[in-house]
Amino acid sequence: MPFPIEPPISLFNTKALFNPYQYKPFNKIMYFNNQKNIWEHNGKDIFITDEVGVGKTFEAGYIIQELLKNDPNISVLILSPVKLCQNWEKEMRENFYLSFNNFHQRKTLGQLNIVPISYFRLYKKNNFNEEKTDNEFEEELYSDVDPYLEQELKNKIAKLKYDILIIDEVHYTRNKGKLWYGINELINNNGKAKLKIFMTATPVFNDNSDYENITDLLKPDYANTTTLQGESNCYDFLLDIKRVPVILSNSEKTIMEEIFSYIEFETSWSSYLKSKYGSLTGFLKRIATSSMYSLKQFVNQNSHFEDSELELYNNFSDSDLKFSCLNWEEKDDSKFMALENLLIDIKEENEKLTEQKEPIKIIIFTCFIDTCTYLSKRLKEYEIFMITGKVNAKKVERAKQRFKESEHDAILICSDAAKEGHNLQECHYMIHYDFPFTPAALSQRNGRIYRIGQKYNPKIYYLTVENSYDERLFGEIIVNKTEKVKDVSNLGLISPINVLPQDSEDYIKICLTKYFEDEVEKRENRWNRENSEKTSKEYEYFEREQLKYFLKKKDLNDKIAEYNDNFNYVYTEEFINYFFVNTNKDISALVDYYKQQYKKEMISFIEKLHLKISENLTFKEIQNEFRKHCDNYLNSQLMSKNNLFCHDMIDNDKLSIGQYKKQFQPLILCKKNKE
């Protein structure tokens, strides 16, 4: 029996293994035209905010392939961070049989183009006023890009045309600066009616305006998807996040105390305490918490940074901090010792997990190049590979491939230049040696191993330094950023972010308390400086209003108004109880829920093809029905079915993914062979 309607061509012309969730964007913006007997675009744009690792590249590929089948002459433009251009070219060629032109490498344009998104920041750069952005998250966006592109190159970029525009990691347009305006001009020049596919797992870094700025570039009636990893593929396991505490040695505590020290600041009318190192204090706290080695390199002016603006700090000359660092030696590095103990535990666990005693593969993330270098020098028992913003795209791909293929225990050390776009699901252990500034970046890091194709329960470890800047930073991540992401995800606009360790309720409470106390201290210091003549009663009113503004939560305002002598303590408890997210989930119940959701999505996909499937069938029976319908369609296209297609993997336990992909032949090629 033939298909009631023709199925998407990507079911038979891509090596991507069938997953109904990956067709959700397709179903949102495509409809089947019965008169023409083809799938057509319904006129909407699509904003794919699925969780990291769901497979956004494939989701876009299905749409591209279908529209190219209808009209082989349409043009496609993919904009991505420069480090991911080669990955896009490879994925489109190997999985979709589409030959895209990588403009970054060849400086030529064709029908199907991949261009670094950063080129649009340079395009007519003097026409726009740049807004302040998070430099930490732009290091890889602008690396390998000549800031003085030749005029001829600019002219080529200015003339770019497209029928389909895909922007990967579109969160880089979350601020309305030069990049946003450059993209907006590109869209206006091509006509807003053209199809746009925006993709990012982390559209919100700071507040809701991030999301609004991005969607201002889309049509008002855009569609969106927010698929979670658990729904899409990993319903047999969930991300396992644990904390590893680090206790500083006495010499390290002395260094931290120096960084955290205050000096008395005199004015004509009063005096107050301020941080000894002024605006540099936060940076010093952060780099010291990353590694004392990196701090020592910095105070001795030997640092290496991925972000060029940090070079401005390299004129540091304070003798007190240099003196404090003199007594620190690598052999006394408490954080590295904690890492060594963790690696021993991981190795023992890996031997129990992998029956064939597979070599262990571990990824370590850190924010600083010097910490990367330090770890690569000291981890002598492992085969070491490294990816930073200073490594070009070709060397990055080579390091990834050698890491995957290594037959020895291996560690891939990465800066945040590697947090996006890299598929490393062959590895199932990740260690965060230090923290970035947002939960979005943590989620992106975790997504390198928590993605489709992962065959074990991925383990994530946070090395947290006790009584350090980690408590402040982690508190800020949870309070200022995670809650804002949660607010938007509750509206169904983006996917939630899971970055909280499952075993650290007490630590999270400490971080939140520390964060609260720091905020109160800041306001008290500011009030004392600005309002020294005010009465105690006026101060109470001022403090109450400031706290109301700080929380911005209507349901707590009444409680805040009930001010009393014990107010700070009561408020701290309310604060913690309100913001703390309990991570002790019933895993088995969640797994069952995801399996039921997957079954519903499978039925929904089949029904899109106008086929009726009973919900009373078992999941395996539904899979078999789907395979049978796919085979019926193939039989109408081929004399005999002797080739592999994506749906074959649904019920084929004998083939590995690698073996399957080697034997795969697309339907187009099969038809040619038939002829």
495 phi, psi to nearest 5 deg: -80, 145
- Is residue 148 assigned to a domain? yes
Per-residue pLDDT for 85 more than 70?
Answer: yes
Rounded (10°) angle between helices 250-259 and 319-326: 170
Q: Model confidence at 143, in pLDDT bands (50, 70, 90)?
A: very low
For residue 29, the model assigns a pLDDT of 95
More confident residue, 602 or 123: 602
Look at residues 227, 253, 268 and tell me which one is the last residue of a structural domain: 227
Look at residues 194, 227, 260 and tell me which one is the last residue of a structural domain: 227
pLDDT winner (highest mean) among 89-103, 251-265, 395-409, 434-448: 89-103
For residue 418, the model assigns a pLDDT of 77
- Is residue 252 assigned to a domain? no
Cβ neighbors of 118 (< 8 A, separation 6 or more) are: 81, 82, 141, 142, 145, 179
Per-residue pLDDT for 525 more than 70?
Answer: no
Task: Please name which of 367, 376, 443, 373 lies closest in space to residue 403, comparing C-alpha atoms.
Answer: 376
More confident residue, 75 or 418: 75
Q: Model confidence at 58, in pLDDT bands (50, 70, 90)?
A: very high
- Is residue 151 assigned to a domain? yes
Cβ(171)–Cβ(495) below 8 Å: no
DSSP assignment string, 621-649: HHHHHHHHHHHHHHHHH-SS--SB-GGGG
Burial class of residue 317 in the structure, from the number of CB atoms within 10 Å of its CB (0-12 exposed, 13-18 middle, 19+ buried): exposed
For residue 132, the model assigns a pLDDT of 33
Look at residues 184, 200, 227 and tell me which one is the last residue of a structural domain: 227
Mean pLDDT of 342-367: 84
Q: Return mean pLDDT, the chain.
A: 77
- Is residue 75 assigned to a domain? yes
Tokens, residue 50: 């699925």
Cβ(9)–Cβ(16) below 8 Å: no
Per-residue pLDDT for 616 more than 80?
Answer: yes
pLDDT winner (highest mean) among 293-297, 543-547, 594-598: 293-297
Residue 508: strand, helix, or coil: helix
Per-residue pLDDT for 448 more than 90?
Answer: no
Stated pTM of the model = 0.69
Per-residue pLDDT for 252 more than 80?
Answer: yes
- Is residue 129 assigned to a domain? yes
Per-residue pLDDT for 476 more than 60?
Answer: yes
Tokens, residue 296: 């020592």
More confident residue, 132 or 287: 287
| Cα–Cα distance, 217 to 199 (Å, whole number) | 13
* 360-417 pLDDT per residue, tens: 899 999 999 999 999 999 998 899 999 887 777 778 888 888 988 888 899 999 988 8
- Is residue 123 assigned to a domain? yes
For residue 37, the model assigns a pLDDT of 86
More confident residue, 51 or 655: 51
Mean pLDDT of 153-180: 86
| Cα–Cα distance, 73 to 143 (Å, whole number) | 33
Q: Please state whether beta strands 30-33 and 38-41 pair in parallel, antiparallel, or not at all (unpaired).
A: antiparallel
For residue 464, the model assigns a pLDDT of 92
Q: Model confidence at 675, in pLDDT bands (50, 70, 90)?
A: low
For residue 124, the model assigns a pLDDT of 44
Cβ neighbors of 358 (< 8 A, separation 6 or more) are: 350
More confident residue, 513 or 442: 442
- Is residue 501 assigned to a domain? no
For residue 575, the model assigns a pLDDT of 44
Mean pLDDT of 264-279: 65
**Number of structural domains the chain divides into:** 2
Q: What is the dihedral of CA 590, 593, 599, 600, to 10 degrees?
A: -130
Per-residue pLDDT for 83 more than 50?
Answer: yes
Lowest mean pLDDT among 56-60, 128-132, 508-512: 128-132
For residue 373, the model assigns a pLDDT of 93
Cα dist from 248 to 254, 336, 469, whole Å: 10, 11, 12
Rounded percentage of the chain residues whose pLDDT exceeds 70: 72
Mean pLDDT of 622-643: 74
pLDDT winner (highest mean) among 93-102, 147-156, 257-266, 480-489: 93-102
- Is residue 411 assigned to a domain? no
For residue 46, the model assigns a pLDDT of 96
pLDDT winner (highest mean) among 276-285, 426-435, 527-536: 426-435
| Cα–Cα distance, 37 to 406 (Å, whole number) | 49
For residue 281, the model assigns a pLDDT of 85
Mean pLDDT of 122-132: 39
Cβ(38)–Cβ(67) below 8 Å: no
CATH number at residue 90: 3.40.50.10810
Per-residue pLDDT for 32 more than 80?
Answer: yes
Rounded (10°) angle between helices 319-326 and 292-299: 140
DSSP assignment string, 568-585: HHHHHHHHHHHHPPP---
Per-residue pLDDT for 452 more than 80?
Answer: no
More confident residue, 550 or 29: 29
Q: Model confidence at 315, in pLDDT bands (50, 70, 90)?
A: low
**Which range of residues forms the domain containing residue 165?**
1-227
The answer for 491, left when phi > 0, alpha when psi is -120 to 50, beta otherwise, is: alpha
